[in-house]
Amino acid sequence: MTAAELVIIERRGGYAVLTLNRPDKRNALSQALLHALADAFEQVKADCPVVILTGAGDRAFCAGMDLAEARQQLEQPGRRYAHGNLFWETLEAMRKHPAIFITAVNGVALGGGLTLTHNSELAIAAEHASFGMPEVTFGAFPGLAGPATIHRVLPKHAAWMILTGERADARTAQSWGIVNEVVPGGALLSRAEEIAQRIAAFDPVLLDYAKKALRDISTLDWASAIDYGLNLGHVISRQTQAAEQGIGRFVARERNVGQGPGS
C-alpha cells in the first residue's frame, strides 16, 4: 500500500478524519503506517483544528505494533528493532500538533492502540471495543503503553492492566477514564464528528494553548497551576481577539458559538 492508502485522510469542514487502514492486520503499526501517520498529521496541521483518529473495519482500532515485521527486522544481521523509537516520534508529533485529537475506538485497542487512545485529548469507544496491554503474556514490559496508562488512570487500574495482560471492556474503560463515552458501534463516528464540529467552531489559537495546558498543568502544584492559568489568558489575548469579542457578545446579550441555553 502507498502512504495515502495506509492512512485515509478525509477533511470535513474544520476537522479531519484519519483512518488507520490495515484491517487485515487489525491496523497494526508497521513502520510504513507510522511514517504515513506522521505525514497525515502534517497534511492537516494548517486547516484542521480537530482530528478524529479511527481504524478501518469493525474488529480493531489498532492491535498495537506489527510484531511480525519487528521479528523479521531482528532476525536480519546488524538490524535493530526500530519501531519503539519511531512510534515515540509519532506520539510526540501528536503531542506537539496544534489540533485536538479525538480517538474513535472501533474495536480492540491493544498496546500501541491503547497508547494512541491515551495520547488523544478525548476518546469515544464503540460498545464492543476493548483495551489492553498483552506484553506481560509474552515476557515484555509495555514500554510506551505502560507509562501512558500509569499517567492516565489510577495506580490500581494501571497495575491490573500491566500485570494481568487482561483486557478491559468499553464500559470499564469509561469508568477508569480511558474513554469519555461509550456508544453503539453504528453511532461511533457520527458521535465523534458531532464533538469535532463543536470543538472546531472555537478559536484555533485558544485550542492549541488549551491542549498544551492540559499536559503542562497536570505536572504542576496548585499554586503554580493557578499562576500558569492566569498567565495563559494574557498569552492567548496577545495572539487572538476571541476572548475580547466573545465577552463583548455576551455583554450585548448575543449568543456565542457553543454557548448553552439560558446563558
Q: What is the DSSP string of 204-259?
A: HHHHHHHHHHHHHHTTS-HHHHHHHHHHHHHHHHTT--HHHHHHHHHHTTPPPTTP
Per domain, the residue ranges of the chain are 3-200, 204-251
Q: What's the CATH superfamily of 3-200?
A: 2-enoyl-CoA Hydratase; Chain A, domain 1 (3.90.226.10)
- Using the 8-state DSSP alphabet, how is residue 260 labeled? P
Per residue in 6-51, pLDDT (tens digit) is 999 999 989 999 999 999 999 999 999 999 999 999 999 999 999 9
Per residue in 51-76, pLDDT (tens digit) is 999 999 989 999 999 887 876 665 55
Residue 144's alpha-carbon distances to 59, 64, 182, in angstroms, are 23, 11, 24
Q: Residue 107 corresponds to which cell in the numbers above?
A: 474495536
Helix H or strand E encompassing 197: helix 188-200
Q: Residue 72 corresponds to which cell in the numbers above?
A: 523479521
pLDDT band at 4 (very low <50, low <70, confident <90, very high): confident
* pLDDT value of position 263: 47
47: left (phi over 0), alpha (psi -120 to 50) or beta: alpha
Per residue in 170-204, pLDDT (tens digit) is 999 999 999 999 999 999 999 999 999 999 999 99
Q: What predicted TM-score, i.e. pTM, was given to this entire model?
A: 0.91
- 197-201-205-211 Cα dihedral, nearest 10 degrees: -40
